[in-house]
Amino acid sequence: MSDLFDPTLWATSGWDSTPWWDSLDLAWNDPLAGAAFSSSLTDFDQWLVETVNGVGQSVLADPFVSQIVSVVNDPFVYLFGRELLGNGIDGFTGTNDSLFGSSGIFGDLGDGGFLFGNGGAGAAGADGGDAGWIGNGGAGGFGLDSTDAAVAGGIGGNGGAGGWLLGNGGIGGAGGAGFNGVDGAGSAGGAGGDGGASGFLFGAGGTGGAGGAGGRGADGIAPVLDGRATDGADGGLLPALNAAGLAGGNGSDGALSATGAQAGGHGGSGQDSLSDDGVTNAVGGAGGSGGNGATGAAGGNGADGGSAQAHSTATAIGGNGGNGGNGGNGVSGFAGGAGGDGGAGGRSGLFGAAGIGGIGGAAGPAA
């Protein structure tokens, strides 16, 4: 017993002084722990939404169950213009003329059932159908492509809302493409529709629709030609005898006028030269240069140099041809239309993730 009170005999090798709570992997100070927990919660949220919706859709597809559901839905359609159980009709454009549904507060046949069902996809440019308590929202309709350079592409429809209790929001419709310019700039693409909001508790927001592409700009258009500028005068009608021929005159430059652009004038021909005394060299006159063209117009042609003819020992030298005029600068092409804005992502549920915003449309290329 006395050994129990002798400190030198106490065994310490088996004693662990580390607090027991340090062995728990709580990661209170780890900034990534919260993100990992949130990701796990989001994964569970989508698993639950997909599982519940998948089971419900399988039940609705059963031939025997569908007969019962049809009988159950009839009074709801008659009174409210909307089913209790079932998916909305894709592209529905009708009206709700039921007893109470004409008030507009109960939706229509494009929406999912009050209790269960997915919303139908929207018609062109229209919003997708909303779900009721449980179900996914319908996708928004695509925006129509523009058919006029002065009009932008159509806006995509918004995605339908997910079920109040559980369901994902619908995807926003893509915006329509802009029109290619004919004699001017292309039109802008339409904006994508917003993603639908998810259910209050479980579900993710819908992805926003992509913006429409802008239309291509038209090619540059040169002004209408309206004849040529003045041609240069010829050096002379008759050959120069025992003398050098005169040079032809230069053509004048073209110019813009009220009726269009003018091409540069043609240069005048050089005068011919003739030597018959055997001493004087025959030198033909140089041809005149063509005038420069106005914007978008052709330059004038250079003229022929004068010919030379000599007898006996004299030398004959023909005149140089005139230089052609420079063509006018080309006209710049028109700008392409702006791409449409991407739609906003839908609001998330309590446990789900928010929708991703849509991608903006590409701007149309300039000519």
pLDDT of the residue at 200:
82
Alpha helices in the chain (DSSP H): 31-61, 63-80
Q: Out of 111, 127, 272, 304, which one is annotated catalytic?
A: 304
Which structure tokens are listed for 101? 């549904």
Q: Shortest CA distance to 209 belongs to which of 125, 90, 110?
A: 125
Would residue 304 show up in a list of annotated catalytic residues for this protein?
yes
| Under-50 pLDDT residues of the chain | 21, 24, 26, 28, 33, 227, 235, 240, 245, 258-260, 282, 308
Q: Please give the backbone phi and psi of residue 262, each rounded to the nearest 5 degrees, phi first.
A: -110, 140
DSSP characters over 7-52: GGG---TT---S-GGGGS---TT-HHHHHHHHHHHHHHHHHHHHHH
pLDDT of the residue at 259:
47
pLDDT of the residue at 258:
46
pLDDT of the residue at 247:
58
Distance of CA 45 to the CA centre of its chain: 34
Integer Cα distance of 170 and 34 in angstroms:
28
pLDDT averaged over every residue in the chain:
73
CB 169 within 8 Å of CB 162: yes
Could you identify the residue written with the tokens 């914007």? 295
Could you identify the residue written with the tokens 């088996």? 14
CB 170 within 8 Å of CB 138: yes
Query: Running DSSP on this structure, what letter comes out for residue 250?
Result: P
pLDDT of the residue at 341:
78
pLDDT of the residue at 199:
81
pLDDT of the residue at 336:
62
pLDDT of the residue at 191:
86
Strands (E), the chain: 225-228, 240-241, 256-257, 260-263, 273-275, 282-283, 308-310, 316-317
Could you identify the residue written with the tokens 């392409």? 336
